[in-house]
Every structure is written in C-alpha cells, then in structure tokens.
Amino acid sequence: MIQQTATTMQIKMEDGKVKQLNKKDIQRVSYKEPTVQEKKESEEKIKQQTAVVEEPPPPTPEPTKKSEPEIDKGASPYAIDQIKRKDLELYFGAGLGTYRPPTESYFDHASAKINALNGVPTQVDDPLYKRGLAYSMGLIYYWKKFAFGLTGNHFGGKTSERMTVYGGNSSLQEFKGTFPEKQNSLKLDVSYLAFSNQRVDIRPSFGYSQFWGKTEDNSTTANDYFANSLFDVMKFNYNILEILKGPSIGVKTTIRLGERWEDRIELHYLSLTGAQYAATVGTTVTTDASFFDYYRTDLTTTWTAKGFNFSNKLFYRWTPTISFWVGIQLFEWKYSVNSIGQRFQGLGDITSPPTLDVVILSNILIETTAKSTPATSRASSLEFGVMKRFELSQ
C-alpha cells in the first residue's frame, strides 16, 4: 500500500503499476506476506473489480464576448439634452395683428391743447383700428448652454381718426381719414441656460432691437363750415417715419408638457431711443374758388421709449425635428419727448412772412405742449406657424 484516503487506497503491484481501489470493494486487508495462491486470486479479482480512475480533463473555457452597450429602450426620440445640444431652429408664423402708434393722434391731442390755450375748443375722438397682416420669422442657434437668436416681426393695420375744431361765429372744422400703418422690427439676442430639469428651462437673455414704423396717409380731409354752410375744403397728405433702437433684457422660459408639447414664454424690458419724421402737405380751396393755399409742414420729434415685449408660443412636435405652433405677441411702450422741431412753408408766407418772435414763441409753445402730451405705441398679433430643427452635433 502506498497511500489511502477515507474512501480509496493505492497499492503497488509487482509489475510496478499503481492501482487505486475503492475501500467499499475491499473485503480484507492482510499485512503478512500472501501465498502464491492468494496472490493469484487477488490479481484475478482486482482485474475484474477495479479500474484505473482517470479524471476527465477540465472543460475548455469559452472565449468571453465583449459586452455591448445597453440601449435605453425608455429614452424618447423627442428628448434633447439641453446642456449639450448643438442645433439650429428656423421658424415662421403668420396671422392677424394690430399696430397702434401715436402718429397722427399724438399731434391731434397736442393741437387740441394749443387750441384750448387760444380759447378754441377741440374734440379728438379715440382712433378706430382695423386688424391687418402680421408675421414673424427667425432662427435660434444652440451651442451647449448658450443660444443665439435673430428675430424679425411685421405688424400692419388701418387707423381711422376724427377731430373737430369749434371756432367762433358758428365756425366748425372737421378732420377725418382712414389710412394704413405698419411696423417692422429686427432683434439680435443671446441667452444662457441658467436652470434646466426634465420640465423647465430658464434662460436670462440680452438683446438689441430696431423698429421701423411707417404711416402713409393720402385720405385725410377737412371740411370748414361757416353758419352751417360749407366754406372751404382741405386735403392732407401725411408721410410719417419712425425709427427706434436700443437694448433689451429679459428671460426666456420653456415648459415641457409631456413628450410632444412645450410652451415657450418670453418677457423682455425695452429701452429705446429714436426720432419720428412727419411731413405734411396740405391744400385749401374755398367753395367759390376765391382762395387757394398750398403749404408743407415738417416736424421732427426725438424721444425715448420704455416698455416691454411679451411672447407666448405653444409648440406641438409632429416629428423630432418638425413642430407646429400657435402664439401671441405684444409690444408696448410709452414715449418721453426730448425735443421737437417744426418747419412751416406756405404760399401765404411769400407775401406775409411771420415775424421772428412769432416763430420762436410758436416753437416754444409746440415743444412745451408736446412734452406734456402722453404718447404710447402698441402692436399685437395672433399667429400660427411651423418650426424646423437641424441637428448639428452628428
């Protein structure tokens, strides 16, 4: 015997081979030298009952496969990483809007104040406005937390005005007209993503805007009555151009309403400066053709304006890159007059020019009255539009 375990025993045969036996198959163990007959019987029994135990070779390990990245099946194709995004949005919208500048009504109220100082009662009716075409377009480039925007807006409409001047000796003048007005604007802005989660984004914004307002009035007339009879007729042509520009500061907020809906709200404070140039050409003819007059007035007003711009657009994402939207927009500001200058030329000035003191006093009165007359501008619209997003990160 060479060695043994609790269940097996190894013995060395006469030919030098080593055999392993299971102890449960061993009937007897003798430590004395066996006889020839015992050796022979033992060898035959071993040949029948034992075998060399060969352990099977260990299994060959299969080559390990590289694990592939797991796909997040719950991720939405509409989800955008607001912090790492690099894309471009282009949008356009159109609808109905109104543009309500001071233009002629401002000068009507200033004239009414001057007439009142001279003892001439004057009534200025509130203007009537008719809606017109409004549209907007723009682009927004997103680069990580920054966004750069370029926006253009157009507002149009028609204004109807009426003013009545009551003179002495049963004299009455009635001014009325309906004319188109429009405003265009352009704004550059940059915003920064200050806060973002799955539902809300908040972006402080700084921008610079320019506005162009225009009124072309070729329809205003005035009838001069004396003792209930038409005495003369006046025809006016107004051409008014306003240019304002200045910085804006505000905040842009995006609220996500589920997977496909989002509401974009913007509020900006405007600080503008600029001028308004008004040229008026008038003609007067008496009913008996005994008098004719032609004159031109040029009025330049410089002023500052403080106000705000509010915008709210509701987007539906039809695909991950195409959206439809409906929105409202509002611009409103109040003016403060810095200076006003007038130049008047008429046929009557050729034969009877006004004296210098009259011109100076007249200009002082006009400027003082203009500075005390309130003036506001308001433009609003309801629009429907489409937006296309281009992914630039790939």
pTM for the full predicted model: 0.74
User: Is residue 137 a contact partner of residue 89, using CB atoms and an 8 Å limit?
Assistant: no
Cα 43 off chain centre by: 102
Average pLDDT over residues 1-17: 71
Band (68; pLDDT cuts 50, 70, 90): very low
Higher confidence at residue 21 or residue 287?
287
Q: What is the pLDDT of residue 73?
A: 41
The H or E element that residue 37 is part of is helix 36-49
What does the alpha-carbon distance between residue 9 and residue 30 come to, in Å, rounded to a whole number? 14
Contact yes or no for 209/272 (Cβ under 8 A): yes
What is the distance between the alpha carbons of residues 118 and 3, in angstroms, rounded to a whole number? Answer: 139
Q: What are phi and psi of 105, to 5 degrees?
A: -65, -35
Closest Cα to residue 328, out of 370, 388, 371, 266? 266
The pLDDT-based confidence of 72 (bands split at 50, 70, 90) is very low
- Work out the mean pLDDT of the chain and round it to a whole number: 83
Contacts of 27 (CB under 8 A, 6+ apart): none
**For the chain, where do the domains classified as CATH 2.40.128.90 start and end?**
86-391
Looking at per-residue pLDDT, the higher value among 252 and 170 belongs to 252
Nearest to 298 by CA among 329, 268, 262, 343: 343
Handedness of CA 320, 321, 322, 324 (dihedral sign): positive
pLDDT for the residue numbered 58: 62
User: For the chain, what percent of residues have pLDDT higher than 90?
Assistant: 46
Tokens of 9: 């025993």
CA distance 293 to 173: 16
- pLDDT, mean of residues 309-327: 96
Residues 124-159: tens digit of each pLDDT: 998 999 999 999 999 999 999 999 999 999 999 999
pLDDT higher than 50, residue 380:
yes
Look at residues 98, 156, 157 and name the one whose alpha carbon lies nearest to residue 330: 98
Q: At what angle do helices 103-117 and 356-371 cross, to 10 degrees?
A: 120
Handedness of CA 265, 143, 207, 382 (dihedral sign): negative
Q: What percent of the chain has pLDDT over 70?
A: 79
Query: What tokens appear for 34 in the block?
Result: 């066996």
> Would you say domain 86-391 falls under CATH 2.40.128.90?
yes
Comparing 32 with 225, the larger pLDDT belongs to 225
For tokens 């937390």, the residue is 145
Q: With contact defined as beta carbons under 8 Å apart, do 374 and 327 qualify?
A: no
Which of 160-164, 243-247, 371-375 is predicted with the least confidence, judged by mean pLDDT? 371-375
Q: Give mean pLDDT, residues 357-378.
A: 69
Query: What pLDDT score does 276 carry?
Result: 92
CA dihedral 198, 199, 201, 202 (to 10 degrees): -130
Confidence tier at 353 by pLDDT (50, 70, 90): low
Inform me whether the pLDDT recorded for 69 exceeds 50.
Answer: no
Residue 246 has pLDDT above 90, yes or no: yes
DSSP classification of residue 106: H
User: H helices of 141-228, where?
Assistant: none
Which pLDDT tens digit goes with each residue over 10-20?
A: 777 767 677 77
Residue 63 has a pLDDT of 57
How many CB atoms lie under 10 A from the CB of residue 82? 17
Q: Is pLDDT of 357 > 60?
A: no
User: How far is 293 from 289, CA to CA, in rounded Å?
Assistant: 11
Better pLDDT: 42 or 252: 252
